Amino acid sequence: MATYAIGDVQGCYEPLQRLAQHIGFNPMTDRLWFVGDLVNRGPDSLSVLRYIKKLGDRAVTVLGNHDLFLLAVAEGITTLRPEDTLQPILDAPDRDELLTWLRKQPLFYRERPFAMVHAGLLPQWSVDEAEMLAREVEMNLQGPSYQDTLRALYPSKHLQWSSNLSGPTRLATIIKVLTRLRACSSDGRMESSYNGSPERIPSGYFPWFKVPDRRHHDTTIVCGHWAALGLHREDQLLAIDSGCVWGRQLTAARLEDRKIFQVDGYSER
């Protein structure tokens, strides 16, 4: 039995199938962890959602920013952009079933000694606190007022975390941290637009996992989201968004021994 964490799929169904074959995935004994961004930009997000949903408890996924964007588009809160490839999901006969399933997925998943999140954690958050904050959002997303939270998330550039926040703004800010964080200051102020390489982060900011004295340093974080970072491994970090949708690789990390498996990504962008 093995557990494989898989990087951002983003609608790249065919590479996902090749990766599953490459690792010898056995749905009777193995599990797949998905770091979020199951959908968008790639050519077949609909098949990706159907495949992962069908895996049932053999798959664990956390929500990424593109997954939440799909939910917001479906509710009419924001609109598709020219580069988005989500329309087949919105037109699918099983649309409602897929979106309801997606809305029930967590933002944070913990199974010692690992914790999985799409983007990252603020330095002032312990793993226990991050898990508690994620549960606040998950309860809301699965309830009748989830549209209010999504409305507070779009746009999100102005959102900054404070423990004093309340209501939809609080929930939207938690989402922003867990699904969009790349760089922040030593006191946890998020840089809201940077998506380049770590070496060129604006002055005064750090990669979230490089902030000194961060409170979650004792747990190995499994994450994606940062394609420009690529596959990046440290003692307490497995960052596995290796840019599949941009023609690079789709990555799986076997958690038992941290062995890396990769297949070539989507090359027809």
Q: Which amino acid is at 125?
A: W
Q: What is the pLDDT of residues 39-75, one digit of tens each?
A: 999 999 999 999 999 999 999 999 999 999 999 999 9
Match domain 3-264 to its CATH number in 3.60.21.10, 3.10.450.50, 3.30.700.30, 3.40.50.300.
3.60.21.10
Compute φ and ψ for 223, nearest 5 degrees. Answer: -150, 175
Sequence length of the chain is 269
Q: What is the pLDDT of residue 224?
A: 98
Taking 50 as the pLDDT cut, the residues of the chain under it are none
Q: Quick one: pLDDT at residue 266?
A: 72
75 backbone dihedrals φ, ψ, rounded to 5°: -90, 0
Contact status, residue 11 vs residue 40, Cβ threshold 8 Å: yes
Q: What's the CA gap between 74 and 138, in Å, rounded?
A: 18
Residues contacting residue 161 through CB under 8 Å, at least 6 positions apart: 122, 173, 174, 176, 177, 188, 190
Q: List, in sequence order, the alpha helices (H) in the chain.
A: 13-22, 45-54, 65-74, 87-91, 95-103, 127-141, 146-153, 167-180
Separation of CA 154 from chain center? 17
The whole-number pLDDT of residue 264 equals 96
pTM of the model: 0.97
